[in-house]
Amino acid sequence: MKIIPLSIPTPFYVGDVNVYLIKEDPLTLIDVGPKTPEASEALYRKLGEHGVQVSDIRRIVLTHAHEDHCGLARAVRDEAKDAEILVHPWETGHLFGRLAREEHRKLLLRSGVPETVLDEMRALYRNISLLTDSLEDGDFKTLSDDTELEFENGSLRVVHTPGHTPGSCSFIREANRTLICGDCVLKRITPNPILSPDPIDPEKRFRSLAEYLVSLAKLREFRPTLAYGGHGEPVEDFEEIFNRYVRAIDERQRRVVSAVSTSGVTAFDVAQNLFPDSFDHDVHRFLAISEAVAHLDYAESEHKIAVEFREGVEFYRR
């Protein structure tokens, strides 16, 4: 099976996103890049270099619905006429302007984010949402865990790997243990467990870090020899990166727990304390808050700290 990585520019700090062309029948793209003129131009040009036109694409598979990965899905689908789009059902909420949604606002308020900061963040999310076309219910088919994406010469198994987002999926070619894993495993950065509503009960918060650790262990079971991530070069030594991630998460757990006082702090306080440099940049601020919430949730589930509600805001204490 021919897996061809195409590096596509994004306006985000993370840099280019990797789109994967599976040059087999049905001609498939895994992720497509953000909806910007630069990304669109690069996608058309790079496909052309491999003798493929966008109109030839038959299937668009999304690892997750962040704008840098899914933005051009509808445009490519429209150009390719009857191409199908596949995404995990837990991901679809993101496709409708994710942080504009009331559930997200509630989660941020509960985490102690002040209204003034929320107002600033709203503008950011409006801008980010311009980098994708939203998809309506009938626009996509659903990816299910442990099913196969069939190609003329073999298949890719869908592995639901929640964590970075609730509906993140990875794809494994078992014949040679090659993995395409979106932002679940990245060579140079530890993926951020993004603050999200629970897909089953949106009033609750998705336990992103606990889920992520389970997903990481699940991928490790396949003993991947090559893991193609959503950004940067592929990972050749999965075991090394697995150990590095576990150490980094452990270390951050320790720092988060030690930032919790006996009188009580909010996730917003912890984020400011641990990542002071992130607070002059909107995206980084949101990532810092997500990281703090994910670690506090995890520490609480491990009984390292306790949580209590005061006037609708969660306070963590030792």
Q: Which stretch binds Zn ion (CB under 5 A): 67-75, 204-212, 239-247, 261-269?
A: 67-75
The distance of closest approach from Cβ of residue 184 to Zn ion in the complex, given in angstroms and rounded to an integer, is 10
Q: Which stretch binds Zn ion (CB under 5 A): 125-133, 182-190, 216-224, 282-290?
A: 182-190
**Alpha-carbon span 66 to 231, nearest angstrom:** 13
The distance of closest approach from Cβ of residue 144 to Zn ion in the complex, given in angstroms and rounded to an integer, is 22
Site for Zn ion in 68-97 (CB under 5 A): 68
Q: Which is nearer to Zn ion, 69 or 296 (CB)?
A: 69
- Per DSSP, the residues of 5-33 read EEEE--SSTT--EEEEEE-SSSPEEE---
Residue 191 makes contact with Zn ion by CB under 5 A: no
Tokens of residue 20, six digits = 């994967």
φ, ψ of residue 275 to 5 degrees: the values are -125, 60
**Alpha-carbon span 116 to 187, nearest angstrom:** 36
Q: Which is nearer to Zn ion, 131 or 209 (CB)?
A: 131
Residue 183 makes contact with Zn ion by CB under 5 A: yes
Torsion of CA 173, 149, 14, 209, to 10 degrees: -80
Q: Which stretch binds Zn ion (CB under 5 A): 62-70, 94-102, 264-272, 301-309?
A: 62-70
Site for Zn ion in 248-277 (CB under 5 A): none
Residue 16 makes contact with Zn ion by CB under 5 A: no
Q: How far is CA 65 from CA 85, 159, 275, 295, in A?
A: 12, 16, 26, 23
What is the total count of residues that contact Zn ion (CB under 5 A)? 3
Q: Which is nearer to Zn ion, 107 or 287 (CB)?
A: 287
Q: Mask: binding to Zn ion, 212-251, rule CB under 5 A, as x and -?
A: ------------------x---------------------
The distance of closest approach from Cβ of residue 10 to Zn ion in the complex, given in angstroms and rounded to an integer, is 8
Q: How far is CA 74 from CA 31, 40, 52, 135, 192, in A?
A: 11, 12, 18, 7, 26
Do 28 and 76 form a contact (C-beta atoms < 8 A)? no
Q: Which is nearer to Zn ion, 182 or 264 (CB)?
A: 182
Non-local (6+) Cβ contacts of 247 within 8 A are none
Q: Mask: binding to Zn ion, 129-168, rule CB under 5 A, as x and -?
A: ----------------------------------------
Establish how many alpha carbons lie within 13 A of residue 192's alpha carbon, considering only the half-sphere containing its beta carbon.
16
**Alpha-carbon span 73 to 56, nearest angstrom:** 14
The distance of closest approach from Cβ of residue 19 to Zn ion in the complex, given in angstroms and rounded to an integer, is 11
The distance of closest approach from Cβ of residue 142 to Zn ion in the complex, given in angstroms and rounded to an integer, is 21
Ramachandran area for residue 72 (φ above 0: left; ψ -120 to 50: alpha; else beta): alpha
Q: Which stretch binds Zn ion (CB under 5 A): 128-136, 180-188, 233-241, 282-290?
A: 180-188
Establish how many alpha carbons lie within 13 A of residue 239's alpha carbon, considering only the half-sphere containing its beta carbon.
2
The distance of closest approach from Cβ of residue 183 to Zn ion in the complex, given in angstroms and rounded to an integer, is 4
Residues that bind Zn ion (CB under 5 A): 68, 183, 230
